[in-house]
Structure 1
Amino acid sequence: MITLKWLAVLMFAVALLGLASLFITSDKGDVSPESPTPPASSPTQP
């Protein structure tokens, strides 16, 4: 039971970190349009 609770907490934290990173990257892209990130530097993104 306890392990399940901690697992849920960890998953929730990971989801929050993922959303935060997405918001941060989108903000950086909007704030600095004069220096766009080349597709070669981020092959993971489509």
Structure 2
Amino acid sequence: MNAKKANVILKAIEAGVAIAGIYTTVSATLAIAILPLSIYCLIVIVKGQ
């Protein structure tokens, strides 16, 4: 019973770490993809004024 409970907790922690890793990778990829676009928009707005 106790060993099974510990195993379930361990699996939950592993899943949480995996989800956090995926989330971090996705958000970092999005930030890198959006950064040039936002800089370009900023330049266009500044030149427009």
Q: TM-score, normalised by structure 1?
A: 0.70
Task: Provide the aligned C-alpha RMSD in A.
Answer: 0.8
CA distance in 2, matches of 1:28, 1:5: 34
Question: Are residues 1:15 and 2:18 paired?
Answer: yes
Q: How many Å separate the matches in 2 of 1:6 and 1:31? A: 37
Identity value in percent: 15
Whose RCO is larger (CA < 8 A, sep 6+)?
A: 1
Task: State the secondary structure of the residue aligned to 1:32.
Answer: helix
Aligned length: 34
Gaps of 5+ in 2: 40-49
- List alignment gaps of at least 5 residues for structure 1: 35-46
Higher helix proportion (structure 1 or 2): 2
From 8, 32, 36, the equivalent of 2:35 is 32
Distance 2:31 2:8 in 1: 35
